[in-house]
Structure 1
Amino acid sequence: MPDRPPLAGRTALLLRSADRAGPTLAELAARGAATVLCPLIDVELPEDTTQFDDGVRRLLDGGFDWLLLTSRSTVQALCRRAAELRQAPAGAPDALDVPPATRVAVVGEATAAAAADAGLRVDFRPVHDHSARGMLAEWPQQDRPSAGTTVFMPQADLAAPTLADGLRAWGAEARVATAYCTVDAPADPARRLAAPGTGEPQPDLGPAELAAAGGVPDAVQAVLLTSPSIVRRYLALAGDTPAGIDGIAIGDSTAAEMRRHGWEPAAVAVLPTPAGLADAWEHAVRHASPPGS
């Protein structure tokens, strides 16, 4: 008989925003696992988009050599502001009319897919390390932005300066603008960035219900943590690091935030994707110490 899949019959707590949860829910279901969805954070446009809008206008006018994208939410924010600035009719396609001479770099698979959906051609993305560090390390030296090169970097309000500092060290002019803000769920409906044209799964719990459960709903064996801000919000609601369940981090920065709070990850995903998260959880299950050991 075939071996029982490692995640079959297990349940994970997923804390990412509802519009981004679907692929992870599907990945875990395909491996026989159940999921309790409780979005803790959301994303929305900044209250003041003046700086961002200036960059978007310059981008659409061909004023940058490179557009650097580090998340799907960034692509969504660019499409939304571009449409509003050019007063596109309601229901117009979410596409970015970026001049062909502007090259595009992305951080990983999900961002590349969002860029492609927006009609962009991706010229560079790291193969091995889908992070700011990976982009800087894997960018071919002969092709990287250098002195005299202009780069537009719309990003989250919480983004670290790693990438901008690296580009400036190469001599490039890195124009950074806040494209979206990470907030406690739910976001302001008027500014919320949701995946256009796609349905969202309904949450199983709200933050207050999660807090009432001490951060660990019944039947949950693992918590899937997909950003440092989610780690902070979860621990604020839970009151302490949870005992007896696996904390699975989507990447190094999330794992580092867990450790800052005295919580050692059971596993860290090699790639920040739904499959990467599921693989990491499987690794933790396979390498768990048997009862009584």
Structure 2
Amino acid sequence: MRIALTRDPAQAGPLEAGLRAAGLQVQFLPLTEQRLPADTAELTTTLERLARGDFSWLLLTSGNTVRALHRMGWDGTVPEGVRIGVVGPGTARVLEELTQLSEPWMPTAEQSAAGIIEEMPVPAPGETPTVFLPQSAQARAELREGLTALGWEVTAVSAYETGFLVTEGRLEPGESPHRLLPTPDPADILYLDQLAADLRRDRLAGVDAVVLLVTSSSAADALADLGVPERVRLLAIGRPTAKTLTRRGIPARVLREPSADAVLAALGR
């Protein structure tokens, strides 16, 4: 069986490794591209404030956030007493790869913005209640508002932005000089036009349908603009992604967690 994820091959991790170990052919269908903001002045200024010790916490909500800060020259150094939190193991893995920082704080029950809000400690007596929250330019206000309700003073800054690679119903490769990730190897990419032709040709041959794992709400929107060939099964990572697909009229099953075991369970394997 073939499965493709709507993210870049450079973002592959334990999920993809687990799928390959289970015998699935893994490919990628990048529908979006993460780039540094066109104007990085605010991000530069806030990183300078972090270095001065203006914040008690640095919260990192994605591997792309870490990549953006690293691209801006951050090497993982923070003043003594500053705590670093991440949304989950994937972000922690990128943090360690790029900065050698290990064992950051992370929520244990639900690895999401809601999980951070649920488990983030309230400011301790005498603690400066300041949080640096670098995020995607398209990030929802949920996390910032939730932290504010807990008593934190949140400085939310755009660390990167997501550009869509689907234009007028066609997938166009990204060529931005501000791209956070290296250009992927064409051998890793699933080409939908070719897939659609293959599936039409093999309609009566009993060939397994391809499974497409939609990894984000922005990818869900881009996929809806692009269109989904027949006989492609969709699985969604996270409730927001599934809701975006539903809003765009595309049914998809949401995974219980972003793991190979959850994917295999959803596929009945």
Same fold (TM over 0.5): yes
Q: Report the Cα distance in structure 2 between the residues aligned to 1:99 and 1:65, rounded to whole angstroms.
A: 9
Judging changes above 3 Å, is the alpha-carbon distance between structure 1 residues 137 and 216 closer, same or farther for their aligned structure 2 residues?
A: farther
1:271 corresponds to: 257
CA contact (8 A) 1:16 1:40 kept: yes
CA distance in 2, matches of 1:119, 1:36: 28
Q: Map 1:74-113; keep pairs closer than 5 Å.
A: 74-82=65-73, 95-113=75-93
Q: Distance in 1 between matches of 2:251 and 2:65?
A: 30
Shift in alpha-carbon separation, 1:70–1:216, aligned structure 2, 3 A: farther
Q: Residue type of the partner of 1:31?
A: A
Distance in 2 of aligned mates of 1:204 and 1:114: 20
Equivalent residue for 1:5?
Answer: none
Structure 2: 5+ residue stretches without partners: 166-172, 203-207
For residues 25 and 172 of structure 1, the distance between their equivalents in structure 2, rounded to whole angstroms, comes to: 36
Identify if the C-alpha distance between structure 1 residues 188 and 58 changes in structure 2 by more than 3 Å, giving closer, same or farther: farther
Rounded to whole Å, the distance in 2 between the matches of 1:250 and 1:158 is: 18
Cα distance in 2 between the residues matched to 1:175 and 1:188? 31
**TM-score normalised according to structure 2 size:** 0.83
Partner of 1:223: 212
Aligned counterpart, 2:135 = 155
In the alignment, the residues of structure 1 paired with residue 23 and residue 126 of structure 2 have an alpha-carbon distance, to the nearest angstrom, of 48
Q: Tell which deviates more after alignment, 59-68 or 133-142.
A: 133-142
Shift of 1:214: 4.8
Q: Which residue of 2 aligns with 1:53?
A: 44
Q: 2:59·2:133 contact (CA, 8 Å) conserved in 1? A: yes
Secondary structure in 1 matching 2:68: helix
Instruction: Give the paired residue count.
Output: 254
Percent of aligned pairs with the same residue? 34
Describe the shift of the 1:230–1:124 C-alpha distance in structure 2 as closer, same or farther (beyond 3 A): same
Q: What amino acid sits opposite 1:279 in the alignment?
A: D
How far 1:100 moved relative to its partner?
Answer: 2.1
CA contact (8 A) 1:126 1:134 kept: yes
AA of the residue aligned to 1:194: L
Partner of 1:87: none
Question: Offset of 1:182 from its aligned partner?
Answer: 0.9
SS in structure 2 at match of 1:82 = coil
TM score, norm. by length of structure 1: 0.76
**1:1-293 mapped onto 2 (5 Å cutoff):** 10-21=1-12, 23-82=14-73, 95-117=75-97, 118-120=99-101, 122-141=103-122, 148-185=128-165, 186-194=173-181, 201-205=185-189, 209-211=191-193, 213-214=195-196, 220-238=209-227, 242-266=229-253, 268-272=254-258, 276=259, 278-286=260-268
| 3-state secondary structure, aligned to 2:267 | helix
Distance 1:61 1:249 in 2: 41
Shift of residue 246, structure 1, vs aligned partner: 2.3
Q: Measure, in 2, the Cα distance between the counterparts of 1:215 and 1:51.
A: 47
Contact 2:123 2:129 in 1 (8 A): no
Deviation track 1:73-100 (CA, whole Å, cap 9, x = no partner) reads 11111112125xxxxxxxxxxx222112
- What is the CA distance between 1:254 and its match in structure 2? 0.8
Dislocated runs of 4+, deviation >6 Å: none
Counterpart CA distance in 2 for 1:97 and 1:159 is 25
Aligned to 1:177, the other structure's residue is in SS state strand
Q: Could you tell me which amino acid in structure 2 is paired with residue 252 of structure 1?
A: R
Question: Per-residue displacement from partner, 1:128-177 (whole Å, max 9, x unpaired)?
Answer: 2110001111224576x999511100011111111100111122110011
Q: CA RMSD in A?
A: 2.8
Give 1:72 deviation, angstroms: 0.8
Whole-Å separation in 2 of the counterparts to 1:256 and 1:213: 26
Distance 1:136 1:69, change over 3 A: same
Kindly provide the amino acid, as one letter, of the partner of residue 112 in structure 2.
S
